[in-house]
Chains A and B, each alone.
Chain A
Amino acid sequence: GENVEQHPSTLSVQEGDSAVIKCTYSDSASNYFPWYKQELGKRPQLIIDIRSNVGEKKDQRIAVTLNKTAKHFSLHITETQPEDSAVYFCAAGGNTPLVFGKGTRLSVIA
């Protein structure tokens, strides 16, 4: 079955800097790659997603890139703000339910 590895597990950045979180997956049949943000005590919320027919997608300060050949995808957050502090989860799926990475705790230091 699918296996998703996510790195780093924790990440601290200065406000205004960029943050990058990377994930690798194992199942070449996976074709859907969402990212979720979970603030403390709240539900995971979808922030951006990408499908395998697209290499990059951007939404304001957030972007996701996908390399299907290497089976990895990344989340890029530019101009980080304190409200970006949260746990971020990547996931991969296609013919099977989403499999999630173990999460990255991002801390943005003002």
Chain B
Amino acid sequence: KAGVTQTPRYLIKTRGQQVTLSCSPISGHRSVSWYQQTPGQGLQFLFEYFSETQRNKGNFPGRFSGRQFSNSRSEMNVSTLELGDSALYLCASSQTGSSGNTIYFGEGSWLTVV
């Protein structure tokens, strides 16, 4: 069974631009969660989607948004990029939702904002 797949793996963007990251969950998993990983803050929850609906949202500004498609694939978008958005963005999937259940991470998308 294929794992969680994230694209692109690495990207460099300029301040003010926007970026879209993609995540394909494990086959059969309907929940996709997104996390931001930085050296100082660890893993911080962005949002979770289940059956195309946002189920939970973390404490991030509205510049961070996401969506989920009918095949459970998910995208997250960051608009008006800031230097502080440089981070590893991790997607994780689970069968029925991340609350109280095991989540499986992808390799992540490394975003550098210059």
Q: A: which residues have CB within 8 A of B?
A: 31-32, 34, 36, 42-46, 49, 89, 91, 93-103
CB distance from A82 to the nearest CB of B (A): 23
Contact of B43 among A42, A44, A93, A96 (CB under 8 A): A44
Whether B104 is near chain A, meaning CB under 8 Å from some CB there, is yes
Contact call A46/B98, Cβ cutoff below 8 A: no
* Given A43-B90, A44-B43, A44-B90, A93-B105 contact (CB < 8 Å): no
Q: How far is the CB of A92 from chain B (nearest CB, A)?
A: 10
Max chain B CB contacts within 10 Å: which of A36, A94, A97, A103?
Answer: A97
If A43-B90, A89-B42, A93-B98 touch, whether A98 touches B103 (CB-CB below 8 Å) is yes
In the complex, which of the residues B4, B35, B42, B100 contacts A32, with contact meaning CB atoms closer than 8 Å?
B100
A100/B56 in contact, CB under 8 A: no
A45 nearest CB across to chain B (Å): 7
B46 to chain A, nearest CB (A): 10
Q: Give complex CA distance A91, B90 in Å.
A: 15
Residues of chain B from 28 to 72 with CB closer than 8 A to chain A in the complex: 33, 35, 41-45, 48, 56, 58
